[in-house]
A and B are shown apart, each in its own frame.
Chain A
Amino acid sequence: MTGAFFGVLFIGLNLILYFMFGALFMPSGKREPSLTRTVFTGFFFYYLLFTVVCIPVTLRWRPLHVLTRLWLGAVILVILIAAVRLVIIRNRLITCIKKAFMRSGRDMALMLLVAVMVMAFMAIVLFNYQFTLDASFYVGNVTTSITTDTLNIYDPFTGNWLDHFEMRYFFATFPMNDAVFCDLLGIHPLIWCKITMSGTALVLSAMVLYMISVRLFDNDMKKTAIFMFFSLLADFYMITIYTTAAFITTRTYEGKALLGNVVLPGIIYIYMLLLDDVDDMANWMLLLLLALGSPVLSSSANMLVPAMIGVTILPLCIIRKNIKVIPRSLICMMPGVALTLMYVAYVKGMFVFYTYPR
Chain B
Amino acid sequence: MQSLNISESGFGYIFKCIGLYYEGNFYFLLYLAALAFIFVKGGRRMKEVFIPQFIVMVLTVYNPLFPVALNSLFDVNKEYYRFLWMAPVVIAMSAVSVMLITGYTKDMIRGCGLFLFIACVFIACGSFLYKEGYIISPNIYHMPTEIPEVSRIIHEDSDREYPRALFEYDYNMLIRQYDGRILLSCDREAYLNAISGNLDYMKAMESEDDQDRLLAAIALNIRLPEDVFKESLERTDTEYVVVTTGNEITGYLKGLGFKEVGRTANHTVLHYDLKEEPEFELADYSEVWSLTPQLYDRLI
Contact = CB atoms under 8 A, between A and B. Distances in A.
A158 B211 CA distance: 12
Contact of B142 (A124, A190, A312): A190
Given A128-B136, A194-B141, A222 B102 contact: yes
B86 A307 contact: yes
Interface in A216-262: 216-217, 222-223, 226-231, 233-240, 242-246, 249-250, 259-260
B72 interface: no
Contacts of A188: 141
A351 B183 CA distance: 29
A143 B176 contact: yes
A195 B142 CA distance: 9
B183 A158 contact: yes
B284 to A, nearest CB: 11
Contact of A161 (B88, B90, B283): B283
Contacts of A209: 91
B60 A311 contact: yes
B180 to A, nearest CB: 3
Contacts of A234: 27, 89-90, 93-94, 122, 126
Nearest to B56: A311
B57 interface: yes
Contacts of B101: 226
Interface residues of B, number: 87
B36 interface: no
A304 interface: yes
Interface in A150-191: 150, 153, 155-161, 188-191
A344 interface: yes
* B74, B162, B282 pick with most chain A CB within 10 angstroms: B282
Interface of A is mostly: helix
* A131, A228, A356 pick with most chain B CB within 10 angstroms: A131
Contacts of B183: 158-160
B107 interface: no
Contacts of B170: 131
A55 interface: no
Contacts of A272: 49
B231 to A, nearest CB: 19
A96 interface: no
A268 B126 contact: no
A250 B179 CA distance: 22
A158 B88 contact: no
B129 A159 contact: no
A128 B179 CA distance: 21
A129 interface: yes
Given A60-B294, A129-B142, A304 B85 contact: yes
Given A135-B177, A148-B180, A148-B282, A237 B95 contact: no
Contact of B85 (A3, A244, A310): A244
B300 A60 contact: no
Interface stretch (B214-222, B247-255, B285-293): B285-293
Nearest to A157: B187
Interface of A: 1, 3-4, 7, 56-57, 60-63, 65-66, 69-70, 124, 127-131, 133, 135-137, 139-140, 143-144, 146-148, 150, 153, 155-161, 188-191, 194-195, 209, 212-213, 216-217, 222-223, 226-231, 233-240, 242-246, 249-250, 259-260, 264-265, 268, 271-272, 275, 300, 303-304, 307-308, 310-312, 314-315, 318-319, 344, 356-357
Interface of B: 1, 20-25, 27, 45-46, 48-49, 52-53, 55-57, 60-61, 74, 79, 81-86, 88-91, 93-95, 97-98, 101-102, 115, 118-119, 122-123, 125-130, 134-138, 140-143, 162, 170, 173-174, 176-188, 282-283, 285, 288-289, 291-292, 294, 296-297, 299-300
29 contacts: A3-B140, A60-B294, A63-B285, A66-B297, A66-B300, A69-B299, A128-B134, A131-B170, A144-B180, A150-B282, A159-B181, A226-B102, A227-B95, A230-B94, A230-B119, A234-B94, A236-B126, A237-B25, A238-B127, A242-B81, A250-B129, A265-B91, A303-B79, A304-B86, A311-B53, A312-B56, A319-B48, A356-B283, A357-B292
